[in-house]
Amino acid sequence: MTNQVPPFVGGDFLADDVALRESVDRWAGSAAAADLAPLGALAGTEEAQEHGRLADSHVPVLRTHDARGHRVDEVEFHPSWHWLMTQAVGAGLTAGPWTAPTGSGAHVRRAAGFLLWSRVEAGHGCPVSMTYAAGSALRHDAALGARWLPALASRSYDVGIRPVTQKAGAISGMGMTEKQGGSDVRTNTTRAVATPGGPLPGETYRLTGHKWFCSAPMSDVFLVLAQARGGLTCFVVPRALDDGTRNAFALQRLKDKLGNHSNASAEVELDGTWGSRLGLEGRGVRTIIDMVGATRLDCILGSTATMRDALSRALHHARRREAFGALLADQPLMRNVLADLALEAEAATVLGLRLAHAVDAGETELARLGVALGKFWVCKRTAPLVAEALECLGGNGYVEENGLARLYREAPLNSIWEGSGNVNALDVMRAVTREPTTLEALTKEVHEVRGRSTELDAYVDSALAEARSLDPTSAEAAFGARALVERLALALQAALLVQHSPSPVADAFVASRIAGRRGHTFGSLDVDLAGAASVVIDRAG
């Protein structure tokens, strides 16, 4: 048999990704890069790749009752799911950074690890992400934080529904959306009645209602929104009470999803379910917003991982497959495609790690606006990138066993989770008009490279002027929100590449994305960028 490409195994996902490695060195230090090296090596092994395949192929199974008819509400996962979770938790990809000193680089290290490990299999990244994100909200309540943060930051993956006091580590989930409202959580109908003296610490309530999407329902604890007397409020809801009994948390069914097959997403009914209030009554959105922001950052990182894996598989194939007398990777038009995909992946990588650094450095204004921009733009770019990478393999890309079909099903997810495109675009408008310091922080960041590209300077000036002139009450402004978000996101990505990537990469990005020297599809870079293609592709591994 000739001209058949070997399986995509054996790579080192950190060593092969120059942009990621440089970002870790820059913002977390060489020690963090060395600490992540074993995870990057493991991610590319045949063992890890097979566990990722098996976890996706064997979907979770809901068990509502035991053999004697008792309600248990458990989900059974394939052993490969638990193997993946064990590695992720053991690598410190959960809530540990929230317990580290400010400026330690812990969030950058964790972000890079999450990106690396998400390339193995995306579904189990959901509970890993929510556990990380829960720490951002729980750290604001001393008592509840002391109770839950050590377990959520633990590097021990401890399966089973038991009180947190009996566990070596815990996983967190989130319950926000309901049937009637979706992203409009202020229409939630789940009720919370103050019930002092309950079996939990703090101000205890009983919750009654439903949650339409509750991912990872086997988690140990959930942050849940419900309507209390004072309005929408956030609650900490454990699966097990301190006396060992199970909290009322009925799993009605699991969603049959387009992708993300390994991860169970459930419809949940609450009936007198115990919860501890987190934050003030009526301040539920404000209380949980930190968690939402952290999960949105992970949406950027997860989408970047999907892009990066699709690109790597396309490169792997193109460098080993001949057509019309030459390797695909040596043919000019394929090089245009691969270089264009690599530009997109590097820009997403540098943006994601820069935003994690903003969290580390306490740059809350830049993180607030930058995450909203990145969540919209990077997640939107993932599906078309994966489709183009799949096409690099031709018919082989459409076959399940080559991995790209799974990535293609996964590609739209992060654009929907934690607020779809319109929600994030309107969130950017809200930030710019109501929190002007966020736009000031963005302006400072993009002005770091002022004077190095006249095309970028003009683009930045135009985008910022439009943002400053926004009228939040204008229907026209809302109608054009997506276009503005695109421009601001591209301006930020371009500025970061000019500041941190080699000139051929930055120049090609500015020329194609800012100056418009490309067509409307990947692989349509202007011919004057052909010379930069080798540098861009080589950095991609």
Q: What is the pLDDT of residue 472?
A: 83
CB 58 within 8 A of CB 78: yes
Which contiguous run of DSSP H or E holds residue 236? strand 231-238
pLDDT, average across residues 508-527: 96
Kind and range of the H or E run holding 205: strand 204-215
Among 347, 273, 387, 304, residue whose Cα is nearest residue 536: 347
Q: Rounded to whole angstroms, how far apart are CA atoms 142 and 313? A: 46
Which CATH code fits 287-539? Answer: 1.20.140.10
Q: Could you tell me how many residues make up the chain? A: 541
Chain CA centroid to CA 472, Å: 28
Average pLDDT, the chain: 95
Query: How big is the CA angle at 424 (ends 419 and 425), to the nearest 5 degrees?
Result: 145
Question: What residues contact residue 91 under an 8 Å CB cut-off, 6+ apart?
Answer: 36, 39, 113, 117, 155
Across residues 49-57, what is the average pLDDT? 97
Locate the domains of the chain by residue range. 18-162, 172-283, 287-539
Residue type, 337: V
Residue 7's pLDDT is: 93
pLDDT bucket at 103, cuts 50 / 70 / 90: confident
Fold: same for 172-283 and 287-539: no
- Does the structure show a pLDDT above 80 at 354? yes
pLDDT at residue 180 tops 90: no
Are the C-beta atoms of residues 464 and 439 closer than 8 Å to each other? yes
Tokens of 69: 């008819």
The amino acid that residue 146 corresponds to is A
Q: Check: CB of residue 62 under 8 Å from CB of residue 266.
A: yes
CA distances from 227 to 175, 209, 235, 498 (A): 13, 10, 10, 47
* 207-225 average pLDDT score: 94
Q: What is the mean pLDDT of residues 184-196?
A: 91
For the chain, helix, strand, coil in percent to 5 are 55, 15, 30
Hey, how many other C-beta atoms are within 10 angstroms of the C-beta on 443? 14
**What are φ and ψ of residue 21, in 5° steps?**
-60, -45
The DSSP bridge partners found for residue 271 are 208
539 SS3 class? helix
Q: How far apart are CA 4 and CA 1, in angstroms?
A: 7
Three-state DSSP class for residue 74? strand
Give backbone dihedrals phi and psi of 374, rounded to 5 degrees, phi first. Answer: -65, -40
Q: Which band of pLDDT confidence, cut at 50, 70 and 90, is reported for residue 181?
A: confident
pLDDT score at 311: 98
Share of the chain above pLDDT 70, in %: 100
- What does the buried/exposed string (b/e) look like for 63-90 if buried means 16 or more CB atoms within 10 Å of the residue's CB? eeeeeeeeeebbbebbebbebbbebbbe
CA 264 vs CA 48, 76, 219, 416: distances in Å: 20, 9, 11, 16
In the chain, what's the furthest Cα-to-Cα distance?
78
CATH class of the domain whose range is 172-283: mainly beta
CA 221 to chain CA mean position, Å: 20
Statement: residue 183 has pLDDT above 80: no
**pLDDT of 462 higher than 90:** yes
Radius of gyration of the chain (CA): 23
Q: Does residue 159 carry a pLDDT above 80?
A: yes
Confidence of residue 458 (pLDDT cuts 50, 70, 90): very high
What pLDDT is stored for residue 119 in this prediction?
Answer: 98
Query: 3-state class of 527 per DSSP?
Result: helix
pLDDT digits (tens, 9 = 90+) for 384-433: 999 999 999 999 999 999 999 999 999 999 999 888 999 999 999 999 99
Q: Which whole number is the average pLDDT over 256-272?
A: 96
